[in-house]
Amino acid sequence: MRNPLIIFFTLVLLTKVTLAQDPQFSQFYANPLYMNPAFAGSTGNTRIVASARNQYTALNKNFNTQMVSVDMSISQIGGGLGLMATNDVAGDGNLSSVSYSGIYSYQFHVNKQLIIRTGIQGTYVQRSYDFSLLRFGDQIDPRYGFVYPTKEAVGFQKIGYANFGAGFLAYTDIFFGGFSIQNIAEPNISFYSATQSSSSSQYTLPRRYTAHAGLNIFLTHQRDDQERLLISPNVIYMQQRDFTQLNLGFYVKKQALTGGLWFRQTSQNSDAAIVLIGLKFPKFRAGYSYDITVSGARTATMGSHEISLAYEIAYPRQQKRIFKPLMCPVF
């Protein structure tokens, strides 16, 4: 959820104000713990996920985000546990954010059809940049270019802070939906100390709210679910301070093959069309998606590539009876 201009103002640091938004993934359900901590343990198996995103490929120093997670259901604690690590790098100053998260989710049965899951998340984040890679106007000589030392204040080149999130998830065999909130504490992420003349909100990472819902509609009637043709319409809405994002789309699944088509609308403009293809086998899945930029920035930014890989370690059937797996898209 970030504007391509955000990184410019963040790295140049001319006003000593940090404007920030969280990175995003287009394969929402391929990165379930990132979207909603209540997904931890929702498959009834041990799940290992890795994703990588290369955003705005036409930019010289663009956004690159990687995520690795593992989660599992544990009957003794009535829910699931998850671990997640993300790395996000962008800009000429190599602005880097590395985070490590621990997640706990709890599941209970409302009735035979409806399952409720809740989740909480604790995160530690380190942000850093290399001031020596930045260039400022006072360094420029008309003949020789960037030769002078800058008078811009360096500030801290590495900071760390704690962060927290929570989520809710409800599902049946046909419907699934949930809500999550991230950056609950709205931590201070400035590389400079806040001053009395500046608004404290300028230095904080805003809360990110996510609401998501979808349906499973079987178009054929084979006994084996894997053999049936499935279409799954979905909607995802995100808000982070004044920035909003609405994602509308659907998945089509038949046996091992999944295809998807999405449209992303932001609060400023129509942003991108997303095309997805994925392969899912009993233990392994792989997905690829491409964001086709449709806004006025398309010539400057081009599109975005994203890949995801996952491996599941199956539990015995007795464990699966205790935890009813969530049936939703995996890309």
Residues 253, 276: contact at Cβ < 8 Å? Answer: no
Nearest of 266, 265, 231 to residue 248 by alpha carbon: 265
**Phi and psi torsions of 28, nearest 5°:** -60, -50
Enumerate the β-bridge partners of residue 96. 89, 128
The pLDDT, as a whole number, for residue 21 is: 74
Nearest of 217, 209, 215 to residue 246 by alpha carbon: 209
> Model-level pTM?
0.85
Nearest of 64, 72, 33, 89 to residue 210 by alpha carbon: 33
The vertex-26 CA angle with 250 and 224, nearest 5°, equals: 45
The pLDDT, as a whole number, for residue 194 is: 55
Q: 3-class SS at 186?
A: coil
The pLDDT, as a whole number, for residue 102 is: 98
3.40.80.10, 2.60.40.10, 2.40.160.40, 3.40.50.620: which CATH number matches 6-322?
Answer: 2.40.160.40
**Domain spans in the chain, listed from the N-terminal domain onward:** 6-322
| DSSP secondary structure, 213-241, as one string | EEE-EESS--SSGGGS-EEEEEEEEEEET
The pLDDT, as a whole number, for residue 296 is: 74
Mean pLDDT of each 10-residue bin along the chain, 331 residues long = 41 41 89 96 93 82 90 90 93 81 94 92 91 74 77 81 96 94 92 56 86 92 75 96 93 93 90 94 94 78 90 72 72 87
* CA pair distance 218, 198, nearest whole angstrom: 55
